[in-house]
A = this chain, B = another copy of it.
């Protein structure tokens, strides 16, 4: 398999994805602004993985160092990090597959919605910031809460989109190796605006039903 860097990897979504990628046999490098926090998160993750007999290497580094040698770079920091962190990493990320899992969520009067993003979605904004990177959007709808429960299979469809076919195919292959997820290719990167919206909708559903939900696309296998 390959090596996956997760920038902003010490947050709940980053940790959850890192655990699942490691379980799928991918070497994981947790990236953070502070290398010591990344190393501490990696230590915790290794302990958790050892508990289920998984010995895949997981290490920590600062964000810039984490990128070196990575086949896929996941951006998993909060939305504000797009403007704060990415401009300093443009050249390091050139030529890389950048997997964007960020949702620009807002919460007002207990209702989740999305911050307006001029480019249409976070993924499109990142592609505009990183014109020489291959941005793919995926894992937008998968809750950290479910991802971190590694004793439990994670289920649902991971909608993937992007404008670079080869990079998208690499991410789709990754998704299909992770737990019980199935990748669904929605096509062009602009679909990220819809998958980001699904996250807000699912969070509103979660609150109403006191549940942790995900989505499935019905009808792909001609079952209709």
Contacts and interface: CB of A to CB of B under 8 A. Distances in A.
Contacts of A193: 113, 197
Contacts of A207: 187
Interface string A209-221: 1011111111110
Identical copies of this chain, number: 2
A214 B204 contact: no
Contacts of A65: none
A35 interface: no
Nearest to A153: B224
Give the interface SS of chain A, mostly helix, strand, loop or mixed.
mixed
Contacts of A144: none
A191 B204 contact: yes
A187 B211 contact: no
A21 B185 CA distance: 33
A198 B159 CA distance: 11
A201 B219 contact: no
Contacts of A86: none
A122 to B, nearest CB: 14
A190 interface: yes
Interface string A174-212: 000000000011111011011101101110110111011
Given A194-B197, A197-B193, A197-B197, A187 B217 contact: no
Interface residues of A, number: 39
Nearest to A224: B212
A211 B224 contact: yes
A202 B217 contact: yes
Interface string A85-121: 0000000000000000000000000010100000000
B213 A217 contact: yes
Q: Which of A159, A185, A217 has the largest number of chain B CB atoms within 10 A?
A: A217
B224 A208 contact: no
Given A211-B219, A214-B224, 4 more contacts: A156-B219, A186-B208, A187-B205, A202-B217
Interface of A: 111, 113, 146, 152, 155-156, 159, 184-188, 190-191, 193-195, 197-198, 200-202, 204-205, 207-209, 211-220, 222, 224
